[in-house]
């Protein structure tokens, strides 16, 4: 991991938090918890204007009573999979090889086994900035990062090379694709002269493009410490086979439940309950949405922020206020285990943070400020989450009591925290503003709304530079972020393969050559060939000549 700590969070009792980001080939996908989820339709529709296994062993224990109780609880649906667009109780797959249980991540999926002369991976190397000729990105300036980079022979072995900076410029013939993640991509852009002009001037960096959105709009999922109860399971709990209605669970290798719980958790898919605000708070969701919509967009953004950022946030506010009324726009997600313990994540926070250069040392790690709970409605929503779980565990309509005796009492937050203000005070002391899903700091939005990249993910105002990582998400999806970032990356690969010019042709050729455009012709030939291949496959399938694997 990089060694980064957030600035004190003023709305969380000035606590600081680690900003965990993988510093390794494969990035954070090499160190993440492997939960593999998509958001629902609304998440991705907002952006425009598997290894799926059903395994009853979660946390090394069969969560039957809690599963059964949730099935019958008002507002909880049982979709086959969250990815179909319906929230509720479903299995979250993990990004792992289904047989070996090895981590499946961007290195194993996209790098290992590559054997190409034109692919070079430089480890222990840091990109400091993009180098421009006028407004065209020409190359990247790199420097060695760690002592390992200087491991030579003899005397200097293992020591940092202090002679010279070791800096080099690598030049690009076509274009540069920046993928340093939502914390470092804005830092590299700012070091390159692309960012808010006022900040760049303070850092004495010549301005290439004044783009106020670089480093603004930081979002993450916040983590609420568990609502938990002491409990005794009733012996009369009926043993039940866990099946999901309407589905036949695919064959699945048994999870080795002799593993310690943490490993059993990491190695197996987990049950996950995801809910929209109407599910969490049937009595308050409308008033919370209305009070959010009535806020002035600039009210809780950083002071003196550029008007384009405020204009972009106003758009997000409109979309989120509509999302607050939608049972399939996630505001809460929690793993469901065998015990009455729920630590939901806030999936669509309303506050926005920042990533900015450290002005006293621009090459050091950037300053990360989640600004969590700067919008006070965030804590209202999380408090509603706590109340939901209290109701589910012990409320008058609890469906759990037939299986579990919870009269031993709530151990956390505990009896002392009943009022809304009391709960919010507890949250300020205990809530964690990040589950390491930073997003949004070089957003794909209109430039007049504080956007940094266009629909083709090219940086506004320059040529030959694009961004492909979670920083382009205009709004964070209501799901762990890796699956969406893979989708973005793979889509961009297609765009690059078809050449930048052809990106336009996917939605209709905009070149002035019309039918004569070579990219269009290529695309048509490819589509024709694909249709032919499809026909051929149909024949093979009909005649039984195709083996199962090709199917």
Ligand X SMILES: Cc1cc2nc3c(=O)[nH]c(=O)nc-3n(C[C@H](O)[C@H](O)[C@H](O)COP(=O)(O)OP(=O)(O)OC[C@H]3O[C@@H](n4cnc5c(N)ncnc54)[C@H](O)[C@@H]3O)c2cc1C
Q: Which residues are annotated as a binding site for FAD?
A: 127
How far apart CA 352 and CA 432 sit, in angstroms, is: 15
With respect to ligand X, which residue has the nearer C-beta, 21 or 502? Answer: 21
By the rule CB under 6 A, 184 interacts with ligand X: yes
Sole window of 56-64, 173-181, 219-227, 366-374 interacting with ligand X (rule: CB under 6 A): 173-181
Counting beta carbons within 10 angstroms of the beta carbon of residue 131, is it exposed (0 to 12), middle (13 to 18) or buried (19 or more)? middle
Residue nearest to ligand X as judged by C-beta position:
27
How far apart CA 288 and CA 35 sit, in angstroms, is: 30
Residue from 76, 137, 188, 459 binding ligand X (CB under 6 A): 188
Sole window of 20-28, 273-281, 361-369, 444-452 interacting with ligand X (rule: CB under 6 A): 20-28
With respect to ligand X, which residue has the nearer C-beta, 220 or 505? Answer: 220
From residue 53, alpha-carbon distances to 252, 325, 455, 488 in Å are: 7, 31, 34, 24
Residue from 9, 34, 55, 375 binding ligand X (CB under 6 A): 34
Contact 144, 91 (CB under 8 A): no
By the rule CB under 6 A, 481 interacts with ligand X: yes
Which residues inside 57-96 make contact with ligand X, applying CB under 6 A?
none
Q: Give ∠ CA 236-238-239 in degrees, rounded to 5.
A: 130
Taking residues 440 to 479 in sequence order and writing x for each that binds ligand X by CB under 6 A, - otherwise, the string is -----------------------------xx---------
At residue 368, what are phi and psi to the nearest 5 degrees? Answer: -110, 120
Sole window of 48-56, 169-177, 339-347, 481-489 interacting with ligand X (rule: CB under 6 A): 481-489
The least CB distance from residue 489 to ligand X, in Å, is 7
By the rule CB under 6 A, 181 interacts with ligand X: yes
Which residues inside 103-132 make contact with ligand X, applying CB under 6 A?
126-127
Residue from 480, 492, 503, 517 binding ligand X (CB under 6 A): 480
Taking residues 358 to 397 in sequence order and writing x for each that binds ligand X by CB under 6 A, - otherwise, the string is ----------------------------------------
The least CB distance from residue 2 to ligand X, in Å, is 7
By the rule CB under 6 A, 39 interacts with ligand X: no
By the rule CB under 6 A, 149 interacts with ligand X: no
3-state SS assignment for residue 80: coil
The pair of structure tokens assigned to 528 is 């024709």
Interacting residues of 510 by C-beta distance below 8 A, sequence separation 6+: 504
Residue from 4, 19, 21, 503 binding ligand X (CB under 6 A): 21
How far apart CA 519 and CA 515 sit, in angstroms, is: 10
How far apart CA 51 and CA 54 sit, in angstroms, is: 10
Strands of 397-520, DSSP E: 404-405, 410-412, 465-467
Strand partners, 355: 368
Strand partners, 218: 353
How far apart CA 437 and CA 31 sit, in angstroms, is: 12
Strands of 280-372, DSSP E: 330-336, 341-342, 345-346, 354-356, 367-369
Residue from 20, 138, 378, 504 binding ligand X (CB under 6 A): 20
The least CB distance from residue 287 to ligand X, in Å, is 32
Helices (H) and strands (E) counted in the chain, each on its own, are 14, 19
By the rule CB under 6 A, 267 interacts with ligand X: no
Q: Which residues bind ligand X (CB under 6 A)?
A: 20-24, 27-29, 31-36, 126-127, 179-182, 184, 188, 436-437, 469-470, 480-483, 485
């Amino acid at each position: 991991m990089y060694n980064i700590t957030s600035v004190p969070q003023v709305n969380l009792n000035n606590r600081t938090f680690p900003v965990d980001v993988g510093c390794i080939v494969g990035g954070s996908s090499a160190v993440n918890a492997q939960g593999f989820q998509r958001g629902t339709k609304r998440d991705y529709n907002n952006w425009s204007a598997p290894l799926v296994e059903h395994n009853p062993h979660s946390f090394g224990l069969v969560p039957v009573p809690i599963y059964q109780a949730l099935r019958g609880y008002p507002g909880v649906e049982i979709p086959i999979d969250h990815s179909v667009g319906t929230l509720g109780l479903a299995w979250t797959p993990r990004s792992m090889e289904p047989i070996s249980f090895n981590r499946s991540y961007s290195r194993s999926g996209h790098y290992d086994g590559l054997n190409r002369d034109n692919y070079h991976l430089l480890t222990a190397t840091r990109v400091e900035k993009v180098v421009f000729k006028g407004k065209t990105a020409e190359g990247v300036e790199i420097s060695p990062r760690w002592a390992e980079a200087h491991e030579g022979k003899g005397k200097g072995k293992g020591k940092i090379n202090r002679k010279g900076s070791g800096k080099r410029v690598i030049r690009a013939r076509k274009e540069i694709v920046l993928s340093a993640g939502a914390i470092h991509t804005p830092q590299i852009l700012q070091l390159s002269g692309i960012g808010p002009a006022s900040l760049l001037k303070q850092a004495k960096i010549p301005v290439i493009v004044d783009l106020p959105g670089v480093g603004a709009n930081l979002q993450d999922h916040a983590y609420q410490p568990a609502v938990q109860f002491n409990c005794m399971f009733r012996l009369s709990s009926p043993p039940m086979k866990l099946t999901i209605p309407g589905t036949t669970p695919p064959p699945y290798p048994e999870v080795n439940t002799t593993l310690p719980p943490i490993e059993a958790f990491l190695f197996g898919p987990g049950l996950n309950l995801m809910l929209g605000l109407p599910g969490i708070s049937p009595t308050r969701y409308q008033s919370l949405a209305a009070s959010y919509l009535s806020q002035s967009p600039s009210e809780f953004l950083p002071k003196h922020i550029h008007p384009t950022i405020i204009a972009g946030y106003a758009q997000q506010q409109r979309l989120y206020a509509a999302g607050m009324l939608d049972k399939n726009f996630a505001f809460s997600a929690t793993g469901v285990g065998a015990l009455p313990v729920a630590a939901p994540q806030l999936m669509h926070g309303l506050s926005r943070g920042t990533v900015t250069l450290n002005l006293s040392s621009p090459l050091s790690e950037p300053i990360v400020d989640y600004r969590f709970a700067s919008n006070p409605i965030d804590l209202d929503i999380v408090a509603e989450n706590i109340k939901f779980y209290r109701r589910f565990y012990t409320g008058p309509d609890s469906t759990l009591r037939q299986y579990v005796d919870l009269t031993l009492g709530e151990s956390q937050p505990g009896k002392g925290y009943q009022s809304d203000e009391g709960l919010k005070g507890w949250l300020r002391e205990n809530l964690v503003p990040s589950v390491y899903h930073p997003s949004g700091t070089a957003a794909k939005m209109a430039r007049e709304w504080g956007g940094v990249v266009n629909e083709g993910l090219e940086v506004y105002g320059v040529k030959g530079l694009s961004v492909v990582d979670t920083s382009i998400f205009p709004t964070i999806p209501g799901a762990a972020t890796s699956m969406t970032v893979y989708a973005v990356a793979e889509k961009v690969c297609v765009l690059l393969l078809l050449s930048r010019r052809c990106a336009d042709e996917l939605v209709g050729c905009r070149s002035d050559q019309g039918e004569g455009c070579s990219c269009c012709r290529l695309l048509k030939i490819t589509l024709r060939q694909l249709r032919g291949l499809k026909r051929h496959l149909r024949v093979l399938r009909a005649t039984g000549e195709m083996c199962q694997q090709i199917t």
